[in-house]
Structure 1
Amino acid sequence: MGNNDGKLVILLMLLTIALFFYISLPFMFRGPAAPLFVIHNHDIKGHEVAVEVFDQQNKSIINETYSLESEGDFSQARPSSLRFHREKREYTFKVTMDKQITSTVKMEIPNNYSLVDIWLYSKDYESGEIVPIFMEIAETV
């Protein structure tokens, strides 16, 4: 019986080591996960920005309000529950600026190294117009 116990301990150790490398190898080569989103204020005035993020089951996972100074940025780290997902996930981002302008967009985030860029008062390069709230997916290098 003692011989089987030793084999079981060795097997459990090997499985633990394999799991460790499965989780940590991506971080070793690409670094830590990207933030979930970054808000960029391109306006010369500061703004209050409320961001609510919903998961695939329409459950709110983030509901925060941020004060951005003129031409300032804010980065929101991923909640720990989202850091280890490797498959594409769809989230709904509801962004409200100064309690007046709201934009709601569904975004598919391909992996842990993608984030949502939220731009306040940025220029639309196709039309040349200033857009109060614009959101897009960005990939970190």
Structure 2
Amino acid sequence: MGNAAKKLVISGIIILITILLLSISIHFMFRGPAAPFFVIHNHDIISHEVTVEVFDHNSKPIVNETYNLEPHRDFTKRRPLSVRLNREKEYTFKVTMDKQITNISTMEIPGRKTSVNIRLYTKSGETIPYNPNREAIPILVEIVEWM
């Protein structure tokens, strides 16, 4: 291969990379960043250990991680690459708190601006309609739409 041919191949590769980067930049400029995959909110006055397992529609594990949340703190999990690239919309969340209380919920995440909120000890009136007779809910899993 001659020197001129090598320069032509290198120039072509540089042009392709430039076009790819430009198209990705334009994509994010108009659509904005994706919402987090999930957010854990600890509304309690004590710390909790939370294990979050997420499975796709084929029961393939996507996330299996344990977090220690201090009182009144949040944890945000970015969307894994497999979720960002996949068109799947239905996921099963298995949330276990302090190795004792478990909530299993199947959630539909229809788009990039939709996320899952995992709330520990949510009190009536915080995210659900007020009811003075309702006690705090140990684990509440819900869908939230980001603007």
TM range (shorter): 0.7 to 0.9
Does residue 132 in structure 1 map to residue 133 in structure 2?
no
RMSD over equivalenced CA pairs, Å: 2.4
Does residue 75 in structure 1 map to residue 81 in structure 2?
no
- Deviations along 1:44-103, whole A, 9 cap, x unmatched? 000000000001111011000000000110001111121244x56100000000000000
Shift of 1:39: 0.0
SS of residue paired to 1:83: helix
User: How do residues 1-141 of structure 1 correspond to structure 2 at under 5 angstroms?
Assistant: 17=19, 21=23, 25-85=26-86, 87=87, 89-124=89-124, 125-126=128-129, 127=131, 128-141=134-147
In the aligned structure 2, how far is the partner of 1:54 from the partner of 1:61? Answer: 5
SS of residue paired to 2:29: helix
Question: Are residues 110 and 88 of structure 1, via their aligned partners in 2, closer, same or farther at CA, if it must alter by over 3 Å?
Answer: farther
Shift of 1:115: 0.6
What amino acid does structure 1 have at the position aligned with 2:44? D
In the aligned structure 1, how far is the partner of 2:107 from the partner of 2:27? Answer: 23
- With normalisation by structure 1, the TM-score equals 0.79
Where does structure 1 lack aligned partners over 5 or more consecutive residues? Answer: 1-12
- With normalisation by structure 2, the TM-score equals 0.76
In the aligned structure 2, how far is the partner of 1:47 from the partner of 1:26? Answer: 39
Question: Are residues 39 and 83 of structure 1, via their aligned partners in 2, closer, same or farther at CA, if it must alter by over 3 Å?
Answer: same
In the aligned structure 2, how far is the partner of 1:30 from the partner of 1:64? Answer: 29
In the aligned structure 1, how far is the partner of 2:77 from the partner of 2:56? Answer: 16
Question: Are residues 25 and 57 of structure 1, via their aligned partners in 2, closer, same or farther at CA, if it must alter by over 3 Å?
Answer: farther
- Percent identity of paired positions between Structure 1 and Structure 2: 58
Runs of 4+ in 1 over 6 A off after TM superposition: none
